[in-house]
Amino acid sequence: MRTTTSIDPRQKRRVRATALGTAGVVVAACGIAAGGTAAWAATDTTWNSLSSDFQSGADDITVGASITKTDGTLTLGPNTGSAGFTTLHLTGGTTLTVQAIELTSDQGGTATPSTLVITGSGSLVVAQTDPSLPAIEVSSGSSLTVSSGTVTASVPGSSSAAAIGGGPSMGPGPQNAGTLVFNGLADVTASGGDQGAGIGGGYGGSATVEVDDSASVKASASGRAAAIGAGAGSGSFAVTVRHDATVVANQLASGVAGAAIGGGASPAGQTAGSVTVGDSASVTATSIGRSAAIGGGYHGDGGSVTATGYAHITATSAQAAIGDGEFATGAGTAVSLSGQGVQVQANGGTGSSGGAGIGGSLNAYGNDSLSVGGGASVVASSANGPGIGGLGNTQGMTVSIDSGSVSATGGPSGAGIGAGNASSMGASVSVGTGGSLTVAGGGTAIGGSTATRFGSLSNTGSLTIASGSTLAIPAGASASTSGTWTNGGTTRVDGTLNNTGIIANAGTLSGAGTLSNSGSVLQNGVLSTASVTGNAYSLVYDGQGGTKSAGSQLVYADSVAAAGLNLATAVPPTTGSFTGWNSAADGTGAFLRNGDSISGFAGGGATGSPLVVDLYAVYQVAPVLVDRVLPQGVVGSPYSATVAASVGTAPIAYSRVVGDLPAGLTLDASTGAVSGTPTTAGSFTMTVGAANAYSRQHGSVTHDYTVQIVQTSIGITVPRTATGSTRYLAGGAATLRISGLEANESYTVRIGGKTAVTGKAPSNAAFSLKVTIPKAIGDGAQAVSVSGADHATAATATILTASVAKALGLKLSAKKITHGKKITVTVSKLYAGESVRVVISGKHGKTAVGRATSKGGYVLTLKKGLTKGKYTVTVTGAGTARKASAKLTVS
C-alpha cells in the first residue's frame, strides 16, 4: 500500500538540511526531478510498495508499519527529487527487517550513486547472508546519513564486504565506501566479517566515517578488517567522532586482524589514514589480535590519531592500544592529544607477544610521534611492552608533552617510554614547562638499553620516576632537566645528567657518570654517583670554640634551603643563644643562613667531589643591666649619664619601658646614653629595657633607674688657713664656704670619707661653716664633700691635711760648741714630705731649706762652723707654719 502527498517548496530546504547531517525529524517532501518529472512522498506498509519507492528514488519514504523481508534487497534508484537525496523515515513502533540495502543502482551498466537519510524513532534491521555483499552498501560516490532511529547491520563472519559501507555490487575492485555519517539521535550497531569492516570499507576498500551530534555507534569485526574504518587489504581510513557522540568498537579476531578503529590487515602494507575524536565525544576501542585498537591493522601504520576538546578515549589491545599494527613498516603513527578535558586511557600489550600503550605493536619497524598539550590527561600502559614507544622498532618515537599530564607504565621488560626490549630503539622525550610526566617500567623508565638506543630526554616541567623503576642514562648518553625531577625509584647516571632545576631524590641516584648540578638535589634518598659537579658541598660544623666536630652535611644545591634541608643547630652556653654559622671562629666572618648562596660564601662550587665548607657557631649573650647611681642634674645645665649594659652581645637596643625621664633628657636607643639639658627639678624613676638577638627568644631585661634634677648645684670652697698655709692639721679647724642649699635643708660634711659635721642650712644664701678636721685624718689631699637632703649627689673639694702634732720637734747635736766645729740640727714631727726652713740667727746667721723624709724628719749638718757668739736656731714647717727654736753658744 502506498499513499502520496504533495508539499510546498519550502519543505525541500528542511529535507536538504537533514541530508547534510542536521539532527531532527525529516518531513515528507516532494520535488521536481530533472526533466520536470515529479517525485513523491510515500507511506509504505508493504514490501512491494516499499521496494518500488526505493527503486524510484522517492524523496521521502515513510515506513508506516513493520515490514519483514529477510531475503529482500532494497535498491535505491537515482534520487529523482530536487532534494538530491532520499529520506527513509522509520515510524515509531515499527521495524523494517531486510537482507540488504543498496545505495548504488545499475543504470545500463553504469553505477549511479545515491544518498539515503534515515530518520525517525523506529528500527531498521539488515542481516546480510551473502558473504560477498554488504548489509547496507554505500559504495564510493554514495552517502548514508543516519540522523535518528535504531539501525542494526550484520554480515557473515567470512564476508569480504562491510556491514555498512563498501561492497562489490558493481563489479570487482577495491570496495571503497562512500560517505558514512551518523548523527543526531542515531543508534547504530554494525557487525563486520573477515575482510569487510563493521562500518567502512570492504576488501581493499577505504572509508570516511563521521559520528556526530550525540549519536551512538557500536561496531565489531571478526577478521582482517577494522571494526570501523578500512577493510582488509590496502585501504585508507578517515574516522571522525565528535560533539558528544559515543562509539564502541571491538575487533574480535585473535590472529591477523584489522584495528578496532582504523586500518585493516594486509601483507602488502596499508595506506595510512586518520582518527579524530573531539568535542566531548567518547570512544572505547578493543582489539585482541595482531593490530592496534585505534590506528593500524596487521602490517599497517596508524597514520594520525587526534583527540581534542574534552574527548574521552579508552583503547585496549593485545598489541598497541593506539598506534601501529604488528609488522608495520612505515613511518609510524602521529598521535596528537590536546585540549582541556581530553582524557585518554591506552592499555596495550595484553597479549603474549606484546605492544605499547601508545606507539608500536610487535616488530613495528618505525614509530612517529606523540604530542600532548592543552591540559590533556593521558594514561598509557602495557602489560608486555613499553607504555609509550615500540617493541622491536628500529626508529625511536618523539614524545612532546607541552602541557597536561602523562603517566606511562611499561611491562616487565618494557620502558615507561621508549624501547620494548633490548633490541628496540628508545625515544626522544621532551617535557615542557606546563607538562607533567610520570613513568614506570620493568626495563628502563625512559629510553633504550645503550647510548645509541637511548634517544634523548629534556625536562622543563615535572618528571617523576615511580618507585621500583629505574631510569638509566647509559655511558655516552646525556639528559637534561631544568624543571622538577622526582626520583622515587632509581636514576642511574652512567653518562651525563645536566640539572639546572630541582631533582627531588627520594630513591637512589647512582652510576659512574656525571651529575652536572647547577640546580638543586633534594636529598631524602641515597646519592652515590661517582662525580657531582657544580652545586655540591660538604658543610662541616664546629659546635664551640673553633674545635672541629665530626658532624657534617652534604648539600647538592646553591643553598641549604634549596636542597630541602636546614642548617644544623648548635647548643648555646647557658647564658646565651645560638646566633648562626660563621666563616670565622671568632664570628667576624660572613654568616651562612638557610637561603644564602653557598657558592658565594665558599668562593665557588665543586668540580668533582663536594667542596668542604667549614662553619663555626656564634652565640648571643644576654644583656645585663646593673645597679648604677645616675648623677644629679641641674636645671639648665647639660647632663650626661649612661644606663648601658655591662655585658651582652651587640647590638643592644635600649628603651624606656615605664616611668619618665626628666623633661629635656633623652635615652639613646643604641648606646644607652642619657643626655640633654633638664628643664624641671625633681626626682624621676624610669624602667629601662635592654634587648639583643638573644632577647628575641628569651625576652628583654629591665632595671629601674632614678635621676635627681635640682634647681642649683651645691658648691663648696676651702679657703686658705688664717696663717696663709694650705694644710690643715688633724684635729684642727677649717672654715668652709657652702652654697646651693635651700633654707633648712639638711646637709652633711665629710672629710676624707669621715663625717665632720651635720646641720641645716640657715638660708638660701651661701654661708661659712667652721669644721674640725677629724683626728684620724691622714697626711695629704683629702676629699671634702657636702650633700643635701634634697640633692642626689654631693659637691666635692680638696683639702690638704697633716696628721702630726701641733709643735715641731727640734734637737741640736750640742748646745755649746767650739768655734769651727760642726753642728747637726734634727727636726722631727714633720708630716711626710713637708718642706722645712731652718734659720740660725746671730752674729753670722744662716738659712737652710729642706724637705722631711718619709718618716717626717729632717737633719741638717753645718759643715762650716759659726763665729763666736750666741745664736738662735728656728725651724718652721712649710704647710702649717709650725715652729720650734733652741739656743746655741759658740766659743
Are 236 and 271 in contact by the 8 Å Cβ rule? The answer is yes
Give the residue from 875, 872, 873, 871 showing the smallest Cα distance to 850: 875
Same domain as 289, residue 214: yes
Same domain as 650, residue 575: no
**276: which 3 cell numbers?**
579524530
pLDDT of 169: 60
For the cut 90, the answer to whether the pLDDT of residue 272 exceeds it is no
Choose one of 743, 777, 802: the last residue of a domain: 802
- Where residue 385 falls (left for φ over 0; alpha for ψ -120 to 50; beta otherwise) is left
Same domain as 691, residue 591: no
For the cut 50, the answer to whether the pLDDT of residue 41 exceeds it is yes
Residues whose CB is less than 8 angstroms from the CB of residue 477 and which lie 6 or more positions away in sequence, other chains included: 447, 451, 454, 495, 496
For 271, counting Cβ atoms within 10 Å of its Cβ (0-12 exposed, 13-18 middle, 19+ buried), the class is middle
pLDDT of 693: 75
**CATH number of residue 594's parent domain:** 2.60.40.4270
pLDDT average, residue stretch 288-306: 94
Choose one of 744, 773, 802: the last residue of a domain: 802
CA distance 298 to 429: 27
Alpha helices in 535-646 (DSSP H): 598-602
pLDDT average, residue stretch 659-674: 94
C-alpha separations of 395 from 421, 595, 827 in Å: 13, 46, 128
For the cut 50, the answer to whether the pLDDT of residue 724 exceeds it is no
Q: Which of 74-83, 241-250, 553-562 has the lowest mean pLDDT?
A: 74-83
Same domain as 680, residue 570: no
pLDDT average, residue stretch 742-751: 91
- How many CA atoms lie less than 13 Å away from 697 in the CB half-sphere? 12
pLDDT of 89: 97
**20: which 3 cell numbers?**
547534510
Which structural domain range is residue 683 located in?
633-709
pLDDT band at 806 (very low <50, low <70, confident <90, very high): low
Give domain status of residue 443, yes or no.
Answer: no
Same domain as 796, residue 827: no
Q: What is the pLDDT of residues 704-714, one digit of tens each?
A: 999 988 888 88
Same domain as 354, residue 301: yes
Same domain as 56, residue 197: yes
Same domain as 862, residue 766: no
**106: which 3 cell numbers?**
545499475
**238: which 3 cell numbers?**
578517515
pLDDT average, residue stretch 840-868: 80
**CATH number of residue 640's parent domain:** 2.60.40.10
- Where residue 488 falls (left for φ over 0; alpha for ψ -120 to 50; beta otherwise) is alpha
For the cut 50, the answer to whether the pLDDT of residue 200 exceeds it is yes
Q: What is the pLDDT of residues 430-440, one digit of tens each?
A: 999 999 999 99
pLDDT of 219: 98
Give domain status of residue 678, yes or no.
Answer: yes
Same domain as 682, residue 551: no
pLDDT average, residue stretch 491-508: 93
> What predicted TM-score, i.e. pTM, was given to this entire model?
0.69
**587: which 3 cell numbers?**
664570628
CA distance 730 to 802: 6
For the cut 50, the answer to whether the pLDDT of residue 696 exceeds it is yes
Which of the 8 DSSP states describes residue 561?
A: G
pLDDT average, residue stretch 449-467: 92
pLDDT of 723: 47
Q: Which of 249-253, 625-629, 639-643 has the lowest mean pLDDT?
A: 625-629
For the cut 50, the answer to whether the pLDDT of residue 354 exceeds it is yes
Give domain status of residue 113, yes or no.
Answer: yes
Give domain status of residue 606, yes or no.
Answer: yes
Same domain as 650, residue 595: no
Q: Which of 276-285, 458-467, 473-482, 791-800 has the lowest mean pLDDT?
A: 791-800
Give the residue from 108, 100, 249 showing the smallest Cα distance to 189: 249
Choose one of 392, 417, 442: the last residue of a domain: 417
CA distance 833 to 853: 6
Amino acid identity at 255: G
pLDDT band at 879 (very low <50, low <70, confident <90, very high): low
**CATH number of residue 719's parent domain:** 2.60.40.1930
Give the residue from 244, 273, 243 showing the smallest Cα distance to 258: 273
Are 583 and 615 in contact by the 8 Å Cβ rule? The answer is yes
Q: Which of 64-78, 153-167, 756-770, 868-882 has the lowest mean pLDDT?
A: 868-882
CA distance 11 to 16: 9
Angle at 692 between CA 690 and CA 697, to 5 degrees: 105
pLDDT of 13: 25
For residues 115 and 599, the model is more confident at 115
pLDDT band at 28 (very low <50, low <70, confident <90, very high): very low
Helices (H) and strands (E) in the chain, counts: 5, 78
For the cut 60, the answer to whether the pLDDT of residue 850 exceeds it is yes
For the cut 50, the answer to whether the pLDDT of residue 179 exceeds it is yes
pLDDT of 172: 58
Which of the 8 DSSP states describes residue 606?
A: B
Same domain as 93, residue 50: yes
For 793, counting Cβ atoms within 10 Å of its Cβ (0-12 exposed, 13-18 middle, 19+ buried), the class is middle
**577: which 3 cell numbers?**
643563644
**166: which 3 cell numbers?**
563498501
Strand partners for 336 = 306, 371
Give domain status of residue 502, yes or no.
Answer: no
Give the residue from 72, 83, 66 showing the smallest Cα distance to 30: 83
pLDDT band at 865 (very low <50, low <70, confident <90, very high): confident
C-alpha separations of 142 from 114, 277, 523 in Å: 5, 24, 67
CA distance 215 to 227: 17
CA distance 828 to 29: 161
Q: Tally the domains of the chain.
A: 5
pLDDT of 504: 92
Give domain status of residue 475, yes or no.
Answer: no
Same domain as 753, residue 656: no
Q: Which of 530-534, 640-644, 817-821, 832-836 has the lowest mean pLDDT?
A: 832-836
Edge to edge, the sheet with strand 591-592 lists: 552-555, 537-542, 611-621, 576-582, 591-592
Give domain status of residue 433, yes or no.
Answer: no
CA distance 476 to 182: 54
Q: Which of 38-47, 456-465, 775-784 has the lowest mean pLDDT?
A: 38-47
For the chain, the average pLDDT equals 86
pLDDT of 101: 96
Give the residue from 43, 95, 37, 105 showing the smallest Cα distance to 74: 105
Give domain status of residue 334, yes or no.
Answer: yes
CA distance 155 to 164: 9
- Which segment, 460-469, 708-717, 875-884, is predicted with the most confidence on average? 460-469
pLDDT of 666: 95
pLDDT of 9: 30
